[in-house]
Structure 1
């Protein structure tokens, strides 16, 4: 699954907002009627979910951001606090990495970074995602890991919880626990990154829970 993050050079969004919006975009695509049996996206989504749920995060601005809106997918955006930009992410229907549509292929993958400025402002959510302390990963990698955690939560939670989350617009709150808090909790969802990019070897990166 390709994710494209909008980057405004003049007023960049906060990293925490980008990661939360990315998680929501992933789940909204999975929950979209077009991804359900009989829908035009169903076979692509089913094939991807049955294999490795890899996500690649790219960045775009200006015309390039406008261009990718024409490709099948779901865009989620949210205003940031005063002084920061709008966080916007488009999740695309899963497809082979090669060949990619030209509008996606020319977008940069590595080095996607946003200001790590402040904590989440999202309150009263159904689902929270927490990030392992000390990872040292890029904003793009963080967005992908949060998307993984949200997807696994959506797949594993009871139906009645999923209904409440759907009614809430699949909002997510991002939490940054201390090392002792991370070690002392047991969550229903844990994402273990394979260590192919940015991390050395398999690493627990994010966890999710619902209330």
Structure 2
């Protein structure tokens, strides 16, 4: 199943070394064929979910779709086409009946400490089901939370503390982080670590470090060497929403 991520691992280093302008260039894309993975965040009015738990649920759901048994079967055409290009994700919020409706679409729901997120197979944007397209993209902000200790053996996903992101934007970025981690572990042949992570439900720890701690570990000078030297996968945003092209949004440390 991890073979679905092969194209991502193969392109990873070259993506990191491309200039920001090139990362933002979509002139080679046919708009009719562009795919994006919807990540639906359950945000009820009362009670609202914990922000950190919701991001951890989204991070787990994104990679769970890619490594589900269906990924090598009925979901393979959509996932393969998507991973072969830019791995766009679009976060949307849902509550009540709208949240119930997306459960009938192909994907995986993950719950972490009462917070729920559902990642769906990547649709062509022009063919997004109405159950998804009617959901709001904006309005996903939640109060900052104070998470507990990092669970033993869980990958650590550090959000860039110098770049404000809505919960929706951050959910997409941590989802990129878990996909990169899985792809790079697979490329190294580290199946035992992947199996252990899958057995935990792809649990992660999403944290926001201090600016000083971020600066100390951010491999901005040589992001393509970060995995080999420090076990860090670097999420570098294309700049389509909220942040400037080339911004490092997440550092994902292997378990």
| TM-score normalised over the length of structure 1 | 0.91
Q: Shift of the alpha carbon at 1:14?
A: 1.3
Counterpart position of 1:178: 210
Q: Shift of the alpha carbon at 1:121?
A: 5.4
Counterpart position of 1:133: 161
Contact 2:60/2:178 (<8 A) preserved: yes
Cα deviations across residues 42-85 of structure 1 (Å, max 9, x unaligned)? 11111111100000000110101111111111111133xxxxxx
How many aligned positions are there? 203
**CA–CA separation in structure 1 for the residues paired with 2:245 and 2:200:** 36
Contact 2:52/2:207 (<8 A) preserved: no
Q: Shift of the alpha carbon at 1:209?
A: 1.3
Counterpart position of 1:60: 94
Unaligned runs of 5+ in 1: 80-85
The structure 2 residue matched to 1:23, chosen from 51, 59, 75, is 59
Aligned pairs (5 A) from 1:170-209: 170-185=202-217, 186-209=230-253
Q: Which has the larger radius of gyration?
A: 2
Unaligned runs of 5+ in 2: 1-36, 218-229
Q: Secondary structure at the match of 2:110?
A: strand
The structure 2 residue matched to 1:115, chosen from 140, 143, 149, is 143
Counterpart position of 2:82: 48
Q: Aligned-residue CA RMSD in angstroms?
A: 1.4
Q: Secondary structure at the match of 1:19?
A: helix
Contact 2:93/2:136 (<8 A) preserved: yes
1:169 aligns with 2:197: no
**CA–CA separation in structure 2 for the residues paired with 1:120 and 1:143:** 19
Q: Secondary structure at the match of 1:8?
A: coil
Q: Secondary structure at the match of 1:183?
A: helix
Contact 1:125/1:168 (<8 A) preserved: no
Structure holding more helix per residue: 2
